[in-house]
Amino acid sequence: MSRNPLLEIHSLPPFTDIRAEHVVPAVETLISESRDTIDRLAQQAAETTPTWETFAEPTEAVNDRLTQAWSPVSHLNGTMNTPELRDAYQTCLEQLSEFSTWVGQHEGLFHGWQALKAGSAWTQLSPAQQRTVDNALRDFRLAGVDLPADKKARYGDIQARLSMLSNQFSNNVLDATQAWHKDIKHADTLAGLPQSALDTLKATAESKGIDGFRITLDFPSFFPVVSYADNRELRREVYTAFVTRASDQGPDADKFDNAPILEEILTLRQELAHLLGFDTYADYSLVTKMADSPEQVLTFLTDLANRAVPQARQEVTELSEFARNELGIETLEPWDVAYASEKLREARYAISQEQLRPYFPAPQVVDGLFQVVERLYGVRFAEDTDVAHYHDDVHFYWITDNDQPIAGFYLDLYAREGKRGGAWMADCRVRRQTHDGLQLPVAFLTCNFTPPVGNKPALLTHDEVTTLFHEFGHGLHHMLTKQTIADISGINGVAWDAVELPSQFMENYCWEREGLDLIAGHVDSGDPLPEALLERLQAAKNFQSAMGMARQIEFSLFDLRLHHELDSPCASDVQALLDEVRQSVSVVPTVSFNRFQNSFGHIFAGGYAAGYYSYKWAEVLSADAWSAFEEAGIFDPTTGQRFRQEILEQGGARDAADIFRAFRGREPSVDPLLRHSGIRAA
């Protein structure tokens, strides 16, 4: 039998050796071996009193071995998608879902964890070990271990089906995004677009052997068109194609329609919740979060809406008046909002994202990011060019502390064909203690920025810079952990509505002179951001901030109510609920053909179902945490070390509320968020 690299334990994934044909046999082998080991551990726990060393540690090792094989496969599926890999990934998803259900409902394994908690050695376990045991027992019950046999089987069927549906939802969005393009012969049609955007559209066309310019629905292509194109009809056409992706509307109507998929996902989620004794899927989802109940979340969101929406309506009124008086747009349409907003921003603050690009060449930004982290936490960064990559754009770095490596990460910055949109951090390896020593954490950090053209470095917008810092905050949470148990290491075991705290916190350094002096340097001269430009950037920071907050509240309310109020909805029910939410909190114009929900991957293909509110919940925490740095100095080493020790190193070892109180010395306050966002007090 030929060598299968996915079956070998490497310190890092052997990307140059991995092929699509390796995936299914490797996963099948690992699942089979894992089943045998788990059965043996459960039997052993039934015959002798389990201990941490004889039961918990080998159970963790089984899970980690499978994760080490699957994580690079999952990452490649999102960043280097091919038909062959997609098929292998789909096949394995079904098998992994079945295996996960089998483990979660394994009564012998469950009884082993119960015996560990009930045994005489319980009091000798560390708080982190005890929390791991408690989390495991909770998760067994959430997996239906207490259900009768017929309901256990139904639970497994539902989970397997949900896994397939979520993957198909994501595939449909990717396929719909890549199916549409518009070729432009003459640059006159693209009047208003900055040169950087024209270069990108031209390079895209050239890569396909086309003369002229090619617009796609990838964000680095779509966004400049709707933001800068003077041609209103072109903006309308591109906007329409984007907001109707994977739906029954638009240029590819019904071809990749996600409506039947989201209907089935929602119905199955509610059935799953009912099986486990919860009233709704929202109640089930919140068991592992900081928030106590859907009602508490609704109250939180309603309070924010009451503060933000009145100001947001004023901002839209100002925008409409500006569009009418200065741009000749009598009625502001959705495809005018970004365009008119950019014009108003330039008129009011004499600043635009394009003006800032020359000051943010990607290599300088990455180096500045590292310097910010080095000053905050005392660690260092070193690129390792010998590590196997999966694409030429990818770089690998080690993080060192006192000259010793403590973590590593892959950095993948640019959009390309076969790569799903958005930006994210994912685990490659988790920090854990093994029999062979300490396994270091490794992260995948992925963005979709405008790629470099020719020999010039990529020039990032300020928004892209903040996105990079956001994702790197997640990465630091994963990589700077001091936990040595996989289930509470890094972001594992962290309440979902607290997990955005470190990521949102890092964004603040993109707005302060001390941070920007490290991040920004003109692409030609290396000069820092001029004081006048910085002042305009900071003055424009809260431009339309209430509109932005209202938009996030809209998504959050829609998500929570969708999973709390609708039991077995059809697509029209989903649309009606979205329309109702928009009626109460949305402030921008809408159109009937917008099918935002059909590409809402966060809740239908990600981990944010009944949890999208987490962005705003955690923003309260991050803004309050940042206020501690405002008080002491944004690079104050004592405060930086406290943040590292009390937040980043803790992982999921303690309750998220306790962790925040340990750092801040009190309960969180919403006031810093409102102040930072420029939302006036109610």
The residues annotated with a catalytic role in the active site are: 471
* Residue 516, CA distances (Å) to 276, 352, 414, 521 in order: 50, 17, 22, 9
For 630, the enclosing helix (H) or strand (E) is helix 614-632
Residue 339 to residue 471: CA distance in whole angstroms: 27
Residue 388 to residue 400: CA distance in whole angstroms: 20
Beta bridge partners of 399: 381, 407
Q: Are 284 and 273 in contact (CB under 8 A)?
A: yes
CA angle 238, 243, 247 (to 5 degrees): 120
For 94, the enclosing helix (H) or strand (E) is helix 83-104
Residue 621 to residue 319: CA distance in whole angstroms: 31
Residue 468 to residue 439: CA distance in whole angstroms: 26
Residue 572 to residue 570: CA distance in whole angstroms: 5
Length of the chain: 682
DSSP 3-state percent helix, strand, coil across the chain (nearest 5): 60, 10, 30
Residue 671 to residue 655: CA distance in whole angstroms: 23
Q: Are 380 and 363 in contact (CB under 8 A)?
A: no
Q: Which two tokens stand for residue 137?
A: 């027992």
How many angstroms from the chain centroid is the CA of residue 39? 35
Q: Which two tokens stand for residue 135?
A: 């989390």
* Residue 479, CA distances (Å) to 304, 400, 457 in order: 33, 11, 28
Beta bridge partners of 437: 434
Q: Are 676 and 626 in contact (CB under 8 A)?
A: yes
Beta bridge partners of 289: none
CA angle 376, 655, 613 (to 5 degrees): 80
Beta bridge partners of 210: none
Strand-strand pairing, 442-449 and 404-414: parallel
| Buried b / exposed e along 140-169 (16+ C-beta atoms within 10 A) | beebbbebeeeebebbbebbbebbbbbbbb
Q: Are 479 and 407 in contact (CB under 8 A)?
A: yes
| Most distant pair of Cα atoms in the chain: their distance | 82
Q: Are 458 and 449 in contact (CB under 8 A)?
A: yes
Q: Are 497 and 503 in contact (CB under 8 A)?
A: no
Residue entry with tokens 């997990």: 499
Residue 523 to residue 585: CA distance in whole angstroms: 42
Half-sphere exposure of 633 (CA within 13 A, CB side): 7
Question: What is the DSSP code (8-state) at residue 509?
Answer: G
Residue entry with tokens 């635009």: 352
